[in-house]
Chains A and B, each alone.
With several copies, the nearest count.
Chain A
Amino acid sequence: MKLVYFAWVRERVGKTDETLDLPEGIATIADLVRWLKTRGEEYEYAFENEAIVRAAIDHQHVKPEASIAGAREIAFFPPMTGG
């Protein structure tokens, strides 16, 4: 699974992207975040306030309860500040 990070989520995780093999039982974005936070302090820091970090699956905004089945690319980023 390809994961991509933007803005301060990217800075905290310390990488722009990575490809990870996910363990069994990770069905949703929320499951994925919970698992990432077990992988090290940098992830704990990035997701310390889970409610703030937004997610997209294959370029579409999704909620934490969204299924990741079939996803090619999952992105995590702060609230958008464009415009």
Chain B
Amino acid sequence: MAIIRIQVEAFDAAAETAALTTGRGDIGATVAFTGFCRDEGGRLSALELEHYPGMAEAEIACIASEAEARWPLLGLTVIHRYGLIRPGEPIVLVLAASAHRRAAFEAAEFMMDYLKTRAPFWKREHLKDGNVGAWVDAKGADDAAMERWG
């Protein structure tokens, strides 16, 4: 059963990893993916993340169940923040644990590809000059990345 949290607060990847692995002798590998807010060459003061409460949790749970069906996972944690996030701050954490590395890597990458294209979050740019910039466009590359999982 995956741990899923949608929150404003920052997260602690080390504490989340410890929560999954402490006292266990069956986990051989964890992969922790962290997505950060970039400043886009100094242009951005922040990203604003809007989400659809209720659906965000449900959709991530659905993607996580799919990952757990595909790979022999011993733990799966997804934390996605919303609100105003400054450059250098973390936005999303996907943490996958398994006996062996391949499953952990693949599950984490699968989760991220699906989160990018199916989880109901939208990013808007806040600019250094004080203006609220454009909504970030969805990337064709993200759709292509999702589709390779069949």
Chain A interface (Cβ < 8 Å from any Cβ of B): 4, 6-8, 56, 59-61, 75, 77-83
Q: Is the CB of A56 within 8 A of B55?
A: yes
Q: Kindly state the separation between the CA atoms of A80 and B80 in the bound complex, as whole angstroms.
A: 14
**Closest Cβ of chain B: how far from A12's Cβ, in Å?**
11
Closest to B123 in A: A81
**B: interface residue count bin:** 20 to 34
State the main secondary structure of chain B at its contact with A: mixed
Partner of B121, one of A4, A60, A75, A83: A83
Partner of B52, one of A8, A56, A81: A56
Q: Is the CB of A83 within 8 A of B35?
A: yes
**Closest Cβ of chain A: how far from B66's Cβ, in Å?**
13
Chain B interface (Cβ < 8 Å from any Cβ of A): 35, 49-52, 54-56, 58-59, 80, 91-92, 101, 112, 115-124, 135-138, 142
Q: How many A-B residue pairs have CB under 8 A?
A: 74
In the complex, what residues of A have CB within 8 A of residue B122's CB? 6-8, 77-78, 80-82
Q: Kindly state the separation between the CA atoms of A6 and B136 in the bound complex, as whole angstroms.
A: 13
Closest to A79 in B: B138
Partner of A75, one of B55, B101, B118: B55
Q: Is the CB of A59 within 8 A of B55?
A: yes
Q: Kindly state the separation between the CA atoms of A80 and B120 in the bound complex, as whole angstroms.
A: 6
